[in-house]
Amino acid sequence: MSPVLLRTCGLALLCLFTLDTWAMSGAETADALNLRLADTPEQCAANQPDYACSGVLARPLPQTHAQNFWEHDAAASQRGSETFNYLRRDLPAASLQEKTGFILMNRFEAMAQEKEYDVHARPQPDTVEVRNWDATVPGKVAIQALYYRLGAPGALWRGQRHQLAWYQATGEWLPLLRYLPDDTLTPFGFAQREQLFEGYEVASRINARFADTAPTCDDGTSRYNCNGVWVRATGLGNFRAWNPSPDSIRGNGVSFSYFAADMNVTHVLFRQGFILLASGTPTQQRVSLRCIYANNNSTTNSADRCTFRGTCAAQGIATAQQWLNRYRNTKNYACAFGTDASSFQTIADIRANYNMPGGTAWNEALMAAWPSNVPASLPLEAFFSRLDEGLEGGRRYQREYHADTGTGYLPLLRINGAAPNGELVTYRPEDQYFE
């Protein structure tokens, strides 16, 4: 229900509301707050004060505030109340100087959810004192959303840390909103990808692609355009993980592995790296597959990573048995397959027959080198850690990606090609980078 309707309907209707009425999405919450900012009644229904139905009550959180942001700090405990900024378009512009904070429901919303709070003072038109609540029962506190100042260094990470703390305490996710005070029309915004809970959805999509072994996509193109998982494991150094290395540029080939349930790929070389969207996903900077080897093929320092040992097509190798007859004992020095559907099926058949000693734990696919320093344009889907071994490296990538893109965020997943439950990746909110 809109703030204006709340103002005009009267308190009697509150008994008709159900909790489902208030189950707004994050985007809807941002829209509702922006509408409340624009709504400027002198008072609300039943002679309630203006802040009961309009404007936004925001509590900026100092950097020194405890991780459990709903708990009262020393000043609030001594005063007996929390100081909220009352934001409304017709009031003096209150500046939320702190990087993060939280927002209360208006009083009508809080009453409908049996989370009523007590405003006992209003020292200034843009300031409201809310009597301290019982912080030991956070689920009963009328908090509607968290926010962070868009562009403030470290603000997103701190906001996400508050989001996780609330979830751990209540089992519920609060939306984390962007706050841009210079935007006079829509200062509150919502980005789905920045929500900690979105990592579960990303992991689910990746695991679904991993399980899908259809040889072609619906449009008839090769399977990698819609299923399977492109994984690039990278070391740590004085470089950005998503940039092609100098050797990759010289050989026009950036090494990935193609993970799928029928590919028998069980390992990644380095402890951390990144995962790409399926190749058919529209993106500003396309990452194009050039060729693929059944194994790690020792392509470093080659002049052209896809041709230096010849192509399988030129050698008349089209089946798994033909490949095994030729390369059973030299599997890391083999020919390059093309990108067609039959080549991918042949590689799956080859890897299904790894009953010889020393079978390689991963295949090697070569993507054409792309321009450096364009992370926001690349089809990156997530960063990964090799189980818990590469968490620090993965967190570093999250931090660097956000710094280089300005607003970009990707979840950090754990990867395990040999997982007994068949799920390639898992997501844990507590694994993410926080400040």
Residue type, 208: A
Instruction: Supply 169's token pair.
Output: 């305490």
| Residue 271 CA to its chain's centroid (Å) | 20
Question: What does the mean pLDDT of the chain come to?
Answer: 92
Tell me the three-class secondary structure of 311-325, residue by residue: ECCCCCCCCHHHHHH
pLDDT digits (tens, 9 = 90+) for 102-144: 999 999 999 999 999 999 999 999 999 999 999 999 999 999 9
Distance (Å, rounded) from C-alpha 360 to C-alpha 354?
Answer: 8
pLDDT digits (tens, 9 = 90+) for 143-180: 999 999 999 999 999 999 999 999 999 999 999 999 99
Tell me the three-class secondary structure of 217-253, residue by residue: CCCCCEHHHCCCEEEEEECCCCCCCCCCCHHHHHCCC
- Those residues whose C-beta lies under 8 Å from the C-beta of residue 267, and which sit 6 or more positions away, are 361, 362, 417, 418
Instruction: Supply 162's token pair.
Output: 């508050």
The beta strand positions in 8-132, using DSSP E, are 56-61, 81-87, 100-104, 119-124, 127-131
Distance (Å, rounded) from C-alpha 347 to C-alpha 220?
Answer: 19
C-alpha distance across the termini of the chain, in Å? 36
Q: What is the DSSP string of 144-176?
A: EEEEEETTSTTHHHHHHHHHHHHHHHHS-PPPE
Mean pLDDT, residues 37-56 taken together: 93
pLDDT exceeds cutoff 80 at 358: no
pLDDT exceeds cutoff 60 at 227: yes
pLDDT digits (tens, 9 = 90+) for 372-417: 999 999 999 999 999 899 999 999 999 999 999 999 999 999 999 9
